[in-house]
Amino acid sequence: MDGAAAPVMPYSPPTYEKQGQVRRYAGLTTGVVLLLAATGCVAVPEKNTSQSLSRAAVTLADGKAVVERYNEVNNKANQARDAKLSETIEGDPTLAQTRAGYRIDGKLDAADKKKIKPFTYTKPQIGAPAFSSYPMRFVVSSGVSDDPESQQLGVWQRLNAGTSR
């Protein structure tokens, strides 16, 4: 090149045939992307799940409140021999024992003169391990009001966020 300018090629727009190919490839690409997205092949990667998403089944205060509520409802149910009321605070196998006790008491005391002596779980200590899903369980160690020499250890369960039995 001895100082002469390089020849400039004039611009020529793509022919109709080339435009059709571009549209076809764009449509095909869009279709493939939509198909992959719909089938989950192009999913957003999950967050790092090595961190535990667990939490305690109950707080100490909530655990104690559950025991207080149990004491209250259990004594009402016992006085009335009301298995339906017991269902709100107990699950099997404890509920099955309660129902059986009410039936036996009903046969032995048809006049309904002998009531079950009220009792409470006293000075509850809560042990609440961490769980990442329901059901969640926690333990309660406590005394029993009608027998000062006695200690009880119970396993309590939360079936979902709205329950505590």
The domain locations on the chain are 56-158
121 or 42, which is more confident = 121
In angstroms, rounded to a whole number, what is the distance separating the alpha carbons of residues 74 and 120? Answer: 9
pLDDT averaged over the chain? 79
**What pTM does this model have?**
0.62
**Over the stretch 46-72, which tens digit does the pLDDT of each residue have?**
565 556 678 888 888 989 999 999 999
12 or 85, which is more confident = 85
Structure confidence at residue 20 (pLDDT): 56
* Sign for the pseudo-dihedral over CA of 38, 43, 47, 48: positive
User: Which of 88, 92, 63 has its CA nearest to residue 76?
Assistant: 88
The mean per-residue pLDDT over the stretch 118-128 comes to 93
Q: Could you give the C-alpha distances from 163 to 10, 63, 88, 129, 135, in angstroms and in order?
A: 78, 12, 9, 17, 10
